[in-house]
């Protein structure tokens, strides 16, 4: 849209605050690789679901009471007495699961097509930080209904910080605001649950800025060289994104209206009781792989220091906590662990095979996380944990340096033309 096509009022605003020029550049003029497929829909879907979560969360916060004696009842009041409160809560509750599904698929696309490689390292790293912020926000939100699983989940997870040598117990006491999980913790979690989404928005803005600096990656992993390699984002990809949004909303609506409690735990519909422990404490499904990694360590280790001729005990609890956080933080270093000059797994068959094995390994970890940490499930979980770290620390670097990838096309335009003529 040129200045002459703008309404006079829009021209007056744009001259002083060029918001319409900015939107025109980002949506219409923004060059986008012409070979993007539906794997690239999930970035925009993640932004849309973030807005949905923000709006529904703000409405819910207007009716929620952050007090251990009133929290459970306030949630029930939202469900029963607030106009369309049941709908708002179900959208927010299932929206968390939808958000993680979208983000995990978005990251899988990045892993498969090499979207983390240069010059998009910071883009990938900011994405990992968004995931960490999402996990923190989701965990705190899970505590707010103050059901049995909320209470005991908060107790178990916050107790993990006690594994930190020397200062662990003090950190737990600080988190709790006392010597047990009680009202101070609930208040703090409510405040942080309300605050962190705005931190996520800030990270998303940085994510988009980093994306637009060098443009989107594409299925063949070749950067745009000429105008023939690209098309304007609008209308080509806005239409594609709207189609993907429609399909996603059908999927989302199914769970909201027909299976609203599918992703939840039945125990969380029982008011929190510090004197009655649930038979099996499990987090939400999107935490299960990390929960399995946490529980994979069952024995204490003596760490010997040659210099001081002494040693200290590395507890299983501490090793589990370190491994759980390392499993996420290692993703930050993936751009440097993968040394291949070819990005897309379409031309790296060995790497593509290991990517899908890695995905299968994460699924196995999720299944193990939902099962008791004993017997066969413990052994499978430990094996899957070993492979998780072996994949990132050894398989990816070795394969990227030894594999002889196939030759990619000369340009994006050439690949599209060959498909059309072939």
List the catalytic residues: 212, 216, 240-241, 284
DSSP string, 155-177: HHHHHGGGGSTTTHHHHHHHHHT
Q: Which two tokens stand for residue 380?
A: 């499978």
Where do the DSSP E strands lie in 306-418?
A: 310-314
CB atoms inside a 10 Å sphere around CB 215: 17
Q: Which two tokens stand for residue 163?
A: 């594994």
CB atoms inside a 10 Å sphere around CB 283: 20
Compute the distance between CA of residue 418 and CA of residue 184 in angstroms, rounded to an integer.
63
Spatial CB neighbours of 352, under 8 Å, sequence gap ≥ 6: 112, 345, 346
Compute the distance between CA of residue 345 and CA of residue 203 in angstroms, rounded to an integer.
28
Q: What share of the chain is helix, strand, coil (3-state, %, to 5)?
A: 70, 5, 25
Q: Which residue, 275, 281, 248, is CA-closest to 142?
A: 281
Compute the distance between CA of residue 279 and CA of residue 267 in angstroms, rounded to an integer.
10
Which residue in this structure is represented by tokens 């969360």? 57
Compute the distance between CA of residue 82 and CA of residue 88 in angstroms, rounded to an integer.
10
Question: In sequence order, what are the beta bridge partners of 33?
Answer: 230
């Amino acid at each position: 849209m040129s200045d002459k096509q703008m309404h006079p009022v829009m021209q007056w605003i744009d001259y002083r605050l060029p918001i319409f020029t900015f939107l025109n550049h980002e949506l219409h003029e923004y060059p986008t690789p012409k070979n993007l497929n539906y794997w690239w829909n999930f970035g925009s879907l993640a932004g849309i679901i973030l807005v949905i979560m923000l709006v529904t969360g703000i409405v819910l916060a207007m009716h929620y009471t952050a007090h251990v004696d009133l929290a459970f009842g306030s949630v029930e009041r939202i469900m029963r007495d607030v106009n369309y409160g049941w709908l708002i809560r179900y959208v927010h509750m299932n929206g968390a699961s939808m958000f993680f599904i979208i983000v995990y698929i978005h990251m899988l696309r990045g892993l498969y097509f090499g979207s983390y490689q240069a010059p998009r390292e910071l883009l990938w790293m900011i994405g990992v930080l968004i995931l960490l912020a999402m996990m923190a926000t989701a965990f705190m939100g899970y505590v707010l209904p103050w059901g049995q699983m909320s209470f005991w989940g908060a107790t178990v997870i916050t107790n993990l910080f006690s594994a930190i040598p020397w200062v662990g117990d003090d950190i737990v006491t600080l988190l709790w605001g006392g010597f047990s999980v009680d009202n101070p913790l609930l208040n703090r979690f409510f405040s942080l649950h309300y605050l962190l989404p705005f931190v996520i928005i800030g990270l998303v803005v940085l994510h988009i800025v980093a994306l637009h600096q060098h443009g989107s990656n594409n299925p063949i992993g070749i950067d745009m060289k000429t105008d023939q390699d690209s098309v304007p984002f609008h209308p080509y990809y806005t239409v594609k994104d709207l189609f993907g949004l429609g399909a996603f909303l059908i999927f989302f609506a199914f769970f909201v209206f027909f299976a609203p409690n599918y992703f939840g735990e039945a125990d969380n519909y029982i008011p929190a009781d510090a004197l009655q422990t649930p038979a099996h404490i499990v987090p939400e499904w999107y935490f299960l792989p990390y929960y399995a990694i946490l529980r994979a360590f069952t024995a204490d280790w003596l760490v010997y220091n040659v210099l001081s001729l002494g040693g200290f005990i590395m507890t299983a609890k501490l090793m589990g906590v370190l491994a759980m956080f390392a499993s996420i933080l290692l993703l930050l270093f993936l751009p440097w662990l993968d040394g291949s000059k070819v990005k897309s797994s379409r031309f790296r068959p060995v790497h593509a095979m290991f990517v899908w094995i890695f995905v299968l390994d994460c699924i196995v970890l999720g299944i193990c996380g939902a099962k008791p940490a004993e017997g066969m499930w413990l052994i499978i979980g430990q094996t899957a944990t070993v492979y998780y770290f072996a994949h990132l620390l050894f398989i990816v670097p070795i394969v990227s340096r030894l594999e002889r990838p196939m030759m990619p096309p000369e340009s994006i335009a050439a690949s599209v033309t060959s498909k059309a003529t072939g």
